[in-house]
Chains A and B, each alone.
Chain A
Amino acid sequence: MIKTDPLKRILYIDLTKKKFWIEERPDLFEKFLGGTGVAIALLHENCPYDTDPLSPENPIIFAVGPLNGLFPIASKTVAMFKSPHTGNLGESHAGGRSAIAIRMAGYGAIVIKGKSERPCYISIHGDKVFFRDATTLWGLEQSAGKIIRNLEPGAGLRTIMRIGPGGEKLVSFACVTLETYRHFGRLGLGAVFGSKNLKAVLVSGKRDLSVTDFKEYKNLYDMLLKELSESEKMKKYHELGTPANVLPLSFSRGIPIKNLRTNELLGIENISGEVFAEKHLGRRVACSHCPVACIHLGSLRKPYEDEPYFYRTVYLSYDYELIYALGSMLGITSSEDILKLIEVVEDMGVDAISTGVVLAWITEAFEKGIISEKQTEGIIPEWGKLNAYVELVRKIVYGDSEFYKDIARGVEHASSKYGGKDFALTYGKNEMPGYHTGYGAHIGYLFGARHSHLDSAGYAIDKEAMTKHFTAEQIVEKILNEEQWRQILSSLVICFFGREIYTPEIVLKSLKLAGYELDESNLRKIAQDIYAEKYHFKIKSGFNFDSLNLPKRIFELPSSNGQLNEDFARRCIEILKIKIRDLL
């Protein structure tokens, strides 16, 4: 690490005392690089293992890495906290302007502790931190961001991370929204914000950084920019974006439909990436310092029902995961309806994936008579019917009844109270992502440190497995290797969409220019250490390997790799347990 690099500076903010201070920790950034590596180390330091996730003691940690601000597509920030959704390790990644803003403000990490007496938002402008009153902003849906935008300086380069009513009401899967269209989506960071009376965090800054060899730096930068803009490897993110996966995954039966009750959805072609692009794509935007512009904004024109010739046009960002969770999973086959549901999910500030799986579980539970109209207060959930789902999303956030309070804690909690465990699609208490592709995906979610499809991209392993036979040992090996390598990318912090460009060789070259003299075996060791640190935190916080189970439902419906076999899955799980324990 270069001596003058401000990366080593950690900004601590105490909301209770309205105090802030900076600590220099080159040791952490030398050992764990940055991003997820430093964030997990800071979580160990700042979060006692028995912390209640919604108590003032739960820290919110944001961390960036040495390549943010230096190289293109190093555009992500890692958030780490104890998750109110799972009661364990909370980790979520987001782009927008956040990573560049934090780096340019002169920090490698920000740690927010305590609880504000009144609703507040924090404004970080370089070395100055302001505690602003947010009493008037509390309870506002989308407009809080707009108001802060007009009040604060730093336009163009700043990030505004804010919560919606979901976070204020402590919905355990509430998200934090950045720059209107990006999110710390999963595992409930929004509720942690809400529990601290923290409406928003704004960060801005502007500075120059150092590299060890400017000429080399320019050469590598030019090469990377060209690759990221022109390479075939990036094409899928450039053009249709992630929704390009809808059709191929529906052909291979990998996209979950109606809570995984069926493989058939008549009209699924109407919610393909192609249809979204043709009918709705209004604009593409990018995170700071990323040429890819994978953020696809769909326009939705809505008439006012009570006023003729009055329309409003809103832009909503759509992705594969949203088309799955708020579309196919609910049997919705109209792209307009999906955008309408995305709109209410955005207004409420809840995680789209968890919300979709929750709605799917409610629908099936209702069909099976486990819950009734009495509990839903007259709302009748039905596959494909938008209006009931829109109402339900608002109820999950605003509903005062015991039932809605339970639902606001996710599928795991609701199904353990009301029944319906057999069709509860959760992994380590987190709702299922959009890939029923095979063992790689399901076991990846179950054992991923954050129970996300992005932990190890099991769907990619499954894709390979469609044409090649893998033993349980090989699948486990692939999952572990991928998840460990991703610890490096998310410590730098490179967006995973750039993973094929940032090979170990490129990572080492880039790190050298950032002042890190490492070789590949050093990297592999750091990756393993970070991964082990996460599992240490999980276990100390009560995570138990032996209570991990795959949802029964996944064995009932053929996947992209055919009918899944419980014995084979169990064998994978057993090997994984041993391998992970060996690492600790």
Chain B
Amino acid sequence: MPVFVKDSEKCVGCLICIFACGRAHQAVGLESSCIKVKSQGGISRGFSVWVCRGCEDPPCARACPEDALVVRKNGGVLLNESKCTGCGYCVKACVLDAIGWNSLTNKPVICIQCGECAKNCPYKVMEFKRK
């Protein structure tokens, strides 16, 4: 579990983590991010942060009919794009909603376990621990 949400009550909803996730995927913007920040039904109730836990037995990989998601040694998955057909089963399999979707490539955006979201968070809502 390289990134875990320490205290989402501290989240201010600035979305800096989503942009950081985009940069980690070599992009500028929101299309190539997998982390999500959602308001808890109105901003006054604060935010929740949804990020890949780096499961050791990841349901997303099990759900992939093409074996395009390869389980990493220390948890999480790697995407083999040439195998991915864009069926979206992986997104549905993740109960944390921690897989993004790039609608241009029609492929999932998979967490690369880099911790950039946590490192960029101005309020230390998340913590990054390398296994």
Chain A interface residues (CB < 8 Å from chain B): 69-70, 72, 100, 104, 146, 149, 155-157, 179-181, 206-211, 214, 217-218, 221, 225, 229, 283-293, 297, 314-315
CA distance A288 to B14 in the complex (A): 5
Beyond the given pairs A155-B39, A221-B23, 10 more chain A to chain B contacts, judged by CB atoms under 8 angstroms and listed by A's residue number, are A69-B29, A72-B19, A100-B15, A181-B44, A283-B44, A288-B15, A289-B14, A289-B15, A291-B122, A297-B44
| Contact mask for chain B residues 98-131; partner A; CB cutoff 8 A; 1 contact, 0 none | 0000011000000000000000101100000000
A209 to B15, CA, bound (A): 16
Q: Which residues does chain A contribute within 8 Å of B43, judged by CB atoms?
A: 179-181, 285
Check B30–A206 contact: CB distance below 8 A: yes
Q: List 28 A-B contacts (CB under 8 A).
A: A72-B19, A100-B15, A104-B29, A104-B30, A146-B42, A155-B39, A156-B36, A157-B15, A179-B43, A180-B43, A180-B44, A181-B43, A206-B31, A206-B103, A208-B22, A209-B29, A210-B28, A214-B26, A214-B28, A217-B28, A218-B23, A225-B120, A283-B46, A286-B14, A290-B14, A291-B14, A293-B123, A314-B44
CA distance A287 to B16 in the complex (A): 10
Chain A residues lying within 8 Å of B70, measured Cβ to Cβ, are none
> Using Cβ atoms and an 8 Å threshold, which residues of chain A touch B30?
69, 100, 104, 157, 206-208
B68 at the interface (CB under 8 A from A): no
Q: How far is the CB of B47 from chain A (nearest CB, A)?
A: 8
Q: How far is the CB of A280 from chain B (nearest CB, A)?
A: 13
Q: Pick the contact of A285: B12, B16, B41, B120 (CB < 8 A).
A: B12
- In the complex the two chains form, is A208's CB within 8 Å of B39's CB? no
- Are B28 and A209 in contact, with the CB atoms below 8 A? yes
Complex interface: chain A residues within 8 A of B46 (CB): 283
State whether B12 touches A156 (Cβ < 8 A).
Answer: no
CB pair B12–A293 under 8 Å, yes or no, is yes
Contact for B12 among A100, A284, A314, CB less than 8 A? A284
CB atoms of A315 and B13 under 8 A apart: no
In the assembled complex, the CB of A149 is this many whole angstroms from the nearest CB of chain B, namely: 7
What residues of B have a CB within 8 angstroms of the CB of A70 in the complex? Answer: 28
With both chains docked as a complex, state the minimum distance between the C-beta of B20 and any C-beta of chain A, in angstroms.
9
CA of A292 to CA of B22 in the docked complex: distance in angstroms? 20
CA distance A70 to B22 in the complex (A): 11
Given contact pairs A206-B103, A208-B22, A229-B122, A293 touches B14 in the complex (Cβ within 8 A): yes
Distance in angstroms from A214 CB to nearest chain B CB is: 7
Give the interface centre of A69, A146, A181 by most chain B CB atoms within 10 Å. Answer: A69
Residues of chain B with a CB closer than 8 A to A315's CB: 44
Which residues of A have CB within 8 Å of B95? none
Task: Return A227 CB to nearest CB of chain B, in Å.
Answer: 12
Residues in chain A near residue B122, CB distance under 8 A: 225, 229, 291, 293
How many angstroms from the CA of A286 to the CA of B19 in the assembled complex? 14
Contact-residue bracket for chain B: 20 to 34
Closest to B123 in A: A293
Indicate if the CB atoms of B29 and A208 lie closer than 8 Å: yes
- Residues of chain A within 8 A of B19, CB atoms compared: 72, 289
- Nearest-CB residue, chain A, relative to B121: A291
Residues of B within 8 A of A (CB): 12-16, 19, 22-23, 26-32, 36-39, 41-44, 46, 103-104, 120, 122-123
Q: Of all chain A residues, which has the CB nearest B102? A: A208
CA distance A69 to B104 in the complex (A): 18
Closest residue to B33 on the A side, CB-wise?
A206
- In the assembled complex, which residues on chain A have CB atoms less than 8 Å from the CB atom of B123? 293
Report the Cα distance A208→B104, complex, angstroms: 9
Task: Pick the most buried of B12, B41, B42: most chain A CB atoms within 10 A of its CB.
Answer: B12
Q: Would you give the shortest CB distance from B1 to chain A, in whole angstroms?
A: 23
Task: Label chain B's interface by main secondary structure.
Answer: loop
In the complex, chain A residues whose CB is within 8 Å of the CB of B12 = 284-286, 293
Known: A284-B12, A285-B13. A156 touches B37 (CB 8 A): yes
**A225 and B120 alpha carbons, distance in the complex (Å):** 8
Nearest-Cβ distance from residue A29 to partner chain B, whole angstroms: 17
The residues of A that contact B103 with a CB separation of less than 8 Å are: 206
Instruction: Report the bound CA distance from A290 to B38 in whole Å.
Output: 16
What separation, in Å, do the CA atoms of A72 and B22 have in the docked complex? 14
A390 to chain B, nearest CB (A): 21
Q: Which of B27, B31, B42 contacts A149 (CB 8 A)?
A: B42
**A155: which B residues are within 8 A, CB to CB?**
38-39
Residues of B within 8 A of A104 (CB): 29-30
**What is the distance, in angstroms, from A64's C-beta to the closest C-beta of chain B?**
13
Name the distance in Å between B100's Cβ and chain A's nearest Cβ: 9
Determine the chain B residues whose CB is within 8 A of the CB of A288 once the complex forms: 13-15
Q: Which residue of B lies closest to A282 (CB)?
A: B44
Given A146, A208, A283, which contacts B27 in the complex, CB threshold below 8 Å?
A: A208
Given the known inter-chain contacts A180-B42, A225-B120, please indicate yes or no for A208 contacting B32, CB distance below 8 A.
Answer: yes
Q: Are A207's CB and B31's CB within 8 A?
A: yes
Closest chain A CB from B14 CB (angstroms): 4
Across the A-B interface, give the 4 residue pairs with the lowest CB-CB distance, nearest first.
A286-B14, A315-B44, A293-B12, A208-B29
CB distance from B3 to the nearest CB of A (A): 18
State whether B28 touches A156 (Cβ < 8 A).
no
Q: Report the bound CA distance from A314 to B43 in whole Å.
A: 12
Partner of B38, one of A156, A214, A218, A284: A156
Instruction: Find out whether the CB atom of B13 lies under 8 angstroms from the CB atom of A286.
Output: yes
User: In the complex, what residues of B have CB within 8 A of residue A291's CB?
Assistant: 14, 16, 122
CA distance A314 to B42 in the complex (A): 12
Give Cα A287–Cα B13 distance, bound, in whole angstroms.
Answer: 7
Which residues of chain B have C-beta atoms less than 8 A from A283's C-beta? Answer: 44, 46
- A76 CA / B52 CA spacing, docked (Å): 30
With A and B bound together, what is the CA distance between A211 and B28 in angstroms? 8
Residues of A within 8 A of B120 (CB): 225
The residue on B at minimum CB distance from A230 is B122
How far is A157 from B29 in the complex, measured between Cα atoms in Å?
12
Residue of B nearest to A289 (CB): B15
CB <8 Å contact, B16 and A72: yes
Q: CA–CA, A221 to B29, complex, Å?
A: 13
Q: Which residue of B lies closest to A182 (CB)?
A: B43
Looking at A69, A104, A210, A285, which has the most chain B CB atoms within 10 Å of its CB?
A: A285
- B103 CB to nearest A CB, Å: 7
Contacts of B15 in A (CB 8 A): 100, 157, 288-289
Docked Cα-Cα span, A217 to B44, in Å, equals 34
